[in-house]
């Protein structure tokens, strides 16, 4: 008896110890999660395969024919409904889900002739036969109704849903689970609520399926462990983030196109818990959010580890709570980026800003090929490569690449709508595919300006938009100042005017304080006694006849720039730089040639002093807040001298045009000028 009483007396202490241990685990995960996450996150390359889907009923020499996806960013709704089904290793369950879904939708189509739909299955890097199972199913049905989006690597459920939504064409967009936990026929409940809100004149509506017993018909049979952990999670969510919705995690949600744009473009959380973020963003945008009970069943074979998922969702919530009143983009993101490579959490997202750990290709147009290429002969035997893409009779735009010395890349074709623009790319003297490669003969800013004008005349273009970033902004400004009557608009990014203080910041004293590790590799090539003028010291080595001096200098120069261009540098940026010695030598030699000659300008402030000549030209300036290569001070100086230009600062971006926020603003600028006057030019 005494022993029993003693045990009962100890019970509160035991419960206290257990609670303390669990709390400690939560806090530990909260503290270390940014470090763990930083090892996982990396700059995602543009994956062109993700811009199109396979048609197994049509084949080409390369395999199944491919058709471009739609875009929620750039296209209006052309279908009544899009259904997004994220799938990871679902070979055994996906067929039943697709059968039920398409049977239901076809029946609706027969009842309503105006009803159209698409099903986008997003394969999230499955290791089983999910892809082949879905393609076999597609072969039985029309590809216009079922589309397979194949992700090269696993992103998590949130990342898969986001990528599917961004490629959808529906006026209404539903995402649902591949295990058919909520049957598709429950959709009518969500649509009824949404239609009522639309009749009341509301736009931007989200309707969430719920397992929270909001009405007696709701049935949810969950494992007890899942109930305990999920209820605890819901308590934290309702306390810290989303008070209005009782069940944030049900994977059956319907959004209209307006709401989908607003919440999925800035979404950051890719794995379990992304639902909380999109609802939090919706609340901050004052969107309408409704909840309706649905029939839900737990399906065996879940990919969710309940304990791990519940714990992993806590750090983002906790990180949001202390700064709930702050704008997301106004938080001190540079230190966070340095610690965790921009670990993102739920917080207020201003409409005018955009930044997320996603590929820039989500904001850009699909890859295209040139319809015309050629070489333009200019002075000193220079043969300049050029190409034309998009609409041959569209609005002309000249893409001006950076460096100097870098040449054009395929991604530069993707900032303009190819149905509207005639997109012209030119490799500058010695750069890219132009010949002779790396030549410095008659290679000055003024020669390049003349080359641009000769190309305009050669292509019989009357006036064109000029689009350039970094050194491309320098050359674009110089061309516009020299030939203002030939420029319809300017779109400039990462402003660089070649003033001594700009070059000194990056190559002498400034950027080294932010990237001391990278800086050591940059200066180690140069003897200590020559480090008072690093540009000059590099000039001697880059123009040396001794390859043992020239090549290490070229690789170090190029690597320094490539590894500092992004807010979160790619994990393999240094390896990529070191692996392309031919590019490095050309790039470093030409770039240093321009810097040692101060851009061949007559004064240090030539561009700022002469900007009055172009203030009548419609202009957009896009600048990354944390651009280290071309710091924001230069863009700010240009903005003050050119107040008529629209000045857009991306708060969580560095220098690269391929950072998502930068890419989105550049595309937005090109869309702004699509219908401007003098916008068409034929051959």
pLDDT tens figures, 449-471:
999 999 999 999 999 999 999 99
Q: Residue 249's CB: how many other CB atoms inside 10 A?
A: 20
CA 479 to chain centre: 30
Select from 357, 333, 306, 312 the least CA-distant residue to 36: 312
Q: Which one has a higher pLDDT value, 603 or 563?
A: 603
Looking at the structure, give the CATH architecture of the domain made up of residues 372-498+602-672: 3-Layer(aba) Sandwich (3.40)
Euclidean distance between CA atoms 306 and 304, whole angstroms: 6
Q: List residues bridging with 64 in a β-sheet.
A: 59
Question: Does residue 470 have an active-site annotation?
Answer: yes
Question: Does residue 627 have an active-site annotation?
Answer: yes
Secondary structure element (H or E) that encloses residue 165, with its range: helix 157-166
Name the catalytic one among 356, 539, 639, 655: 655
527 to each of 516, 537, 548, how far by Cα in Å? 17, 9, 15
Intervals of CATH 3.40.50.1820 along the chain? 372-498+602-672
Select from 671, 663, 472 the least CA-distant residue to 44: 663
Backbone phi and psi for residue 332, each to the nearest 5 degrees, phi listed first: -80, 85
Secondary structure letter of residue 55 according to DSSP: E
pLDDT tens figures, 309-335:
444 444 444 444 333 333 333 333 333
Task: Find tokens 């015309």 and name the residue.
Answer: 372
Name the catalytic one among 179, 451, 627, 637: 627
* Spatial strand order in the sheet of 288-293: 146-150, 117-123, 79-87, 170-175, 253-256, 205-210, 288-293
Task: Determine how β-strand 487-493 pairs with β-strand 464-469.
Answer: parallel
Q: Which one has a higher pLDDT value, 61 or 608?
A: 608
Two tokens at 216? 């007696």
pLDDT, position 328: 39
Name the catalytic one among 470, 473, 577, 679: 470
41-180: CATH number:
3.90.550.10
Secondary structure letter of residue 327 according to DSSP: B
* Residues 115, 132 contacting (CB under 8 angstroms): no
pLDDT tens figures, 629-669:
999 999 999 999 999 999 999 998 999 999 989 999 999 99
Distance from the first to the final alpha carbon of the chain: 101
CA 476 to chain centre: 25
E strands present in 368-493: 372-377, 383-390, 395-400, 421-426, 464-469, 487-493
Intervals of CATH 3.90.550.10 along the chain? 41-180
Alpha-carbon torsion, ordered 638, 642, 646, 649, to 10 deg = 20
Select from 251, 217, 215, 211 the least CA-distant residue to 231: 211
Question: What pLDDT band is residue 473 in, cutting at 50, 70 and 90?
Answer: very high
pLDDT, position 64: 78
For the chain, give the percent of residues with pLDDT over 90: 54
């Amino acid at each position: 008896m005494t022993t029993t009483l003693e045990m009962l007396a100890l019970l509160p202490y035991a419960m206290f110890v257990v609670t303390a241990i669990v709390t400690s685990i939560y806090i530990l995960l909260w503290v270390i999660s940014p470090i763990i996450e930083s090892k996982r996150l990396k700059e995602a390359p543009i994956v062109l395969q993700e811009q199109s889907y396979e048609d197994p009923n049509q084949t080409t020499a390369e395999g199944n024919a491919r058709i471009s996806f739609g875009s929620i960013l750039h296209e209006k709704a052309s279908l009544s409904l899009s259904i997004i089904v994220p799938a990871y290793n679902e070979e055994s369950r996906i067929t039943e889900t697709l059968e039920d879904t398409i049977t239901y939708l076809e029946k609706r189509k027969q009842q309503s002739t105006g009803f159209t739909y698409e099903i986008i299955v997003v394969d999230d890097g499955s290791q089983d036969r999910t892809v082949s199972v879905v393609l076999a199913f597609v072969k039985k049905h029309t590809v216009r109704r079922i589309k397979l989006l194949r992700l090269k690597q696993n992103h998590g459920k949130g990342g898969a849903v986001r990528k599917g939504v961004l490629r959808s064409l529906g006026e209404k967009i539903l995402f649902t689970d591949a295990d058919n936990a909520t049957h598709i026929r429950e959709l009518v409940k969500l649509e009824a609520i949404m239609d009522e809100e639309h009749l009341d004149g509301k736009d931007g509506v989200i309707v969430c399926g719920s397992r929270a017993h909001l009405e007696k018909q709701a049935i949810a049979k969950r494992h007890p462990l899942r109930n305990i952990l999920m209820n605890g999670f819901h308590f934290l969510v309702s306390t810290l983030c989303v008070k209005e919705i009782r069940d944030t995690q049900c994977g059956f949600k319907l959004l209209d196109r307006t709401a989908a744009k607003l919440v999925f473009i800035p979404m950051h959380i890719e794995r379990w818990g992304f639902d909380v973020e999109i609802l939090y963003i919706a609340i901050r945008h004052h969107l309408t959010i409704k909840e309706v009970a649905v029939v839900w069943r737990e399906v065996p074979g879940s990919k969710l580890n309940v304990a791990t998922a519940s714990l992993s969702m806590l750090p983002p919530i906790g990180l949001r709570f202390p700064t709930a009143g702050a704008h997301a983009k106004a938080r001190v993101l540079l230190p966070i980026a340095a610690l965790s490579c921009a670990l993102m959490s739920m917080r207020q997202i201003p409409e005018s800003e955009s930044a997320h750990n996603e590929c820039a290709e989500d904001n850009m147009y699909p890859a295209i090929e040139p319809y015309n290429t050629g070489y333009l002969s200019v002075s000193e035997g220079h043969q300049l490569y050029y190409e034309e893409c998009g609409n041959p009779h569209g609005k002309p735009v000249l893409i001006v690449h950076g460096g100097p010395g870098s040449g054009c890349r395929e991604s530069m074709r993707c900032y303009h709508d190819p149905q509207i623009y005639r997109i012209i790319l030119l490799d500058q003297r010695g750069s890219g595919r132009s010949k002779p490669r790396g030549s410095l003969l008659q290679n000055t800013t003024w020669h390049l300006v003349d080359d641009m004008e000769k190309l305009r005349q050669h292509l019989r273009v009357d006036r064109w938009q000029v689009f350039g970033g970094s050194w491309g902004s320098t050359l674009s400004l110089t061309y516009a100042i020299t030939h203002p009557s030939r420029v319809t608009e300017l779109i400039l990014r990462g402003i660089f005017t070649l003033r001594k203080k700009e070059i000194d910041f990056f190559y002498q004293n400034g950027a080294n304080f932010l990237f001391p590790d990278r800086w050591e590799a940059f200066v180690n090539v140069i003897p200590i006694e020559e480090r008072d003028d690093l540009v000059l010291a590099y000039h001697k080595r880059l123009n040396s006849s001794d390859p043992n001096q020239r090549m290490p200098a070229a690789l170090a120069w190029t690597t320094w720039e490539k590894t500092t261009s992004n807010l979160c540098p790619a994990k393999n940026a240094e390896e990529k730089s070191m692996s392309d010695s031919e590019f490095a030598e050309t790039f470093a030699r030409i770039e240093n040639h321009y810097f040692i000659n101060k851009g061949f300008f007559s004064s240090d402030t030539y561009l700022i002093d002469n900007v009055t000549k172009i203030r009548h030209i419609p202009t957009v300036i896009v600048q990354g807040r944390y651009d280290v290569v071309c710091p924001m001070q230069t863009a700010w100086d240009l903005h003050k001298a050119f107040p008529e230009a629209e000045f857009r600062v991306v708060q969580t971006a560095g220098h690269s045009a391929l950072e998502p926020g930068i890419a989105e603003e550049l595309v937005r600028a090109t869309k702004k000028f699509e219908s401007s006057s003098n916008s068409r030019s034929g051959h």
